[in-house]
Amino acid sequence: MLEIIQQPWPWYVAGPLIGLTVPILLIIGNKSFGISSSLRHICAACIPANISFFKYDWKKESWNLLFVFGIFLGGILATAFLSNPNAVQITPELSEQLATYGITDHSGLLPAQLFSWESLFTLRGFIMIVVGGFLVGFGTRYAGGCTSGHAIMGISNLQWPSLVATICFMVGGFAMANLILPYILSL
C-alpha cells in the first residue's frame, strides 16, 4: 500500500480525484474551491488595520483556511515519510539544454542553482524568486483568483471569466517557458 502512495499517480487517476473536489464542495456546503483567497482570510484575521478589503466576515470562510493548512500539513508529512530517494528523472535533451545555462544539479524537484539561499543574492536568482513571486501574487489578485480556483472550480461552473483567465494562464506559461525563461537563465 505504501508503494502505491509513494509513486507518481497517472493523470487519469489524479485528475478525476482533483476534479471530484468541485462537486463534493458544492454538495457539502455550496463552497468554492480556491487557494489564493486564503491569504486574504489570514490577513483579515491577523491585521487589525482599517482596510476595507479586509473588512468582511472571514470566519465564514475558515473552512478554506483549514483546507490550506491540510495541504501544508500533507506536504510536510509527504516530505518526511513518503519522499522518493531517487533523483528526479528528466529527459536527456532537457538535461543538455539546462547544462548550457549552467544548471547541472537536477537531483531535487527544483534546481539548487536557481532556488537556494545562495542564488537568491544573484541577479538570476532574485528575478526567479522575488520578481517571479511578486508577479504570481499580483497576477493572482488581478485575475481574481489562482489557477486552481479558475481552472478547476470556475470552468466547471461554466464561468466565462474563468475560461479567459485559464487561457491567459496557459499562454503566459508557454511564453514564459519558451521565450522569457531562456533569457533569464542566460544571465
At 90 the pLDDT is 83
How do residues 69-102 score in pLDDT, each as one tens digit? 998 999 899 888 887 777 777 888 988 888 888 8
Mean pLDDT in order along the chain per 10 residues (187 residues): 77 88 85 81 83 84 87 90 77 87 77 84 89 88 84 88 92 92 86
At 95 the pLDDT is 85
**Grid cell at residue 143:** 485575475
- Would the pTM of this model clear 0.85, i.e. be above it? no
**Grid cell at residue 97:** 539544454
At 5 the pLDDT is 77
